[in-house]
Amino acid sequence: MRLAETIARIATLDKAVQAEAQKRLDSLTKPPGSLGRLEEMARRVAAIQGVVPPRLGPKRIFVFAADHGVTAERVSAYPQAVTAQMTYNFLSGGAAINALARALGVELEIIDAGVAHDFPPELKLRALKIRRGTDNFTRGPAMTRAEAEACIEAGIRRVEEAAAKEQPFLLGVGEMGIGNTTSAAAILCALTGAAPREAAGSGAGIDAEGWARKVAAIEKGLAINRPDAKDALDVLTKVGGLEIGAMAGAMLGAAALRIPLVVDGFIAGSAGLIARALCPGVMDFLFAAHVSAERGHRAMLHELGVVPLLDLGMRLGEGTGACLAMGVIEAAVKLMREMATFESAGVAGKIA
């Protein structure tokens, strides 16, 4: 019910606000269009918020962690236990995303969406565990349809709670889950018809034999489960991940509340595919942070019809690309808010 209600609240952007934002940008002390894509970012944020210039405020990234049963097929260079170990690392502030968040003033929230581990209750960990990891999708569905819907709705709820508390300026999503590039590639294949050999990359650094196992696992999972490309929930159920569903939910929740959301890399992009399949209008509210070095991400971005803000050769996940992109988007908005106009600065405009 929450999913359907959330989708029903996602509205199109107001063209009048977009026009007003463009007029504001053109009045600033610079040649028209000279700030390139920064102007596009500021204009989109204004249109999403419905106000010119856009307001600033807190920036928050949700890092969703969950385990994947497909790791039993030896598709990852790291053991499944690393999901829980890295979650502890996030909580203690020692991961790359922690360093970047501190540098850019971004609040981090670590969320257990389905780690196969019991964390002590005293930790500063948001517990939204749907189940202890997915099943091995080479032997049947990764989860039940009810669980797929539950993880999407968990993401929606978390956005609603954050919005009620702090009126965020920007939200972002990242993830942690050993084996999740395999699920992300399988989602890409299921929804777009891409070949597993083209969608599957090296993930966290598997060798050639590991890559071959990964491709074989995706091929087998698709053949056994036959996910329905016209039913995003079926795709998530058959070959997805709990953290992927939660990220898709966060995207839908942010769109319903008119909050810009920054999508990290390949795995977060697969959540974007799920969210778009559920509600195409969600794309108006999403920013693609960067193009990952992971094989298949460029094709994924092309399918989503988005141009990433950054291209730094990154493939870490965790929300690291989203964090960096948030800084760029915030800078774009500050330009619209803080630059003088030709009139206020007493600067002559362009000769007619």
Q: Specify the pLDDT at position 203.
A: 85
Q: Indicate if the pLDDT at residue 352 is higher than 90.
A: no
More confidently predicted of 171 and 345: 171
Q: Specify the pLDDT at position 238.
A: 98
Neighbours of 330 (CB within 10 A): 22
C-alpha 195, offset from chain centre: 23
The whole-number average pLDDT for the span 301-330 is 97
Angle at 286 between CA 41 and CA 97, to 5 degrees: 90
Distances (CA, A) of 316 to 169, 176, 248, 278, 313: 25, 10, 19, 27, 10
Helix then strand count (H, E) for the chain reads: 15, 6
Give the mean pLDDT of the chain.
97
109 strand-pairing partners: 62
Residue-wise pLDDT for 83-111, tens only, equals 999 999 999 999 999 999 999 999 999 99
The whole-number average pLDDT for the span 262-277 is 98
Which amino acid belongs to residue 341?
T
Instruction: Please report the domains of the chain, with CATH numbers, ordered by start residue.
Output: 2-54+336-345 (1.10.1610.10), 59-329 (3.40.50.10210)
**Cα-trace Rg, the chain:** 20
SS3 204: coil
CB 190 within 8 A of CB 229: yes
Smallest CA-to-CA distance from 285 within 199, 193, 168, 175 is with 168
Which amino acid belongs to residue 116?
A
Share of the chain above pLDDT 70, in %: 100
Q: Which active-site residues does the annotation give?
A: 318
Q: Specify the pLDDT at position 349.
A: 79
Determine phi and psi for 347, rounding to 5 degrees: -100, 135
Residue-wise pLDDT for 317-349, tens only, equals 999 999 999 999 999 999 999 999 999 999 987
Residue-wise pLDDT for 43-87, tens only, equals 999 999 999 999 999 999 999 999 999 999 999 999 999 999 999
Q: Indicate if the pLDDT at residue 283 is higher than 90.
A: yes
Candidate from 3-7, 56-60, 199-203, 213-217 with smallest mean pLDDT: 199-203
- Residues 6 or more apart in contact with residue 1 via CB below 8 angstroms: none
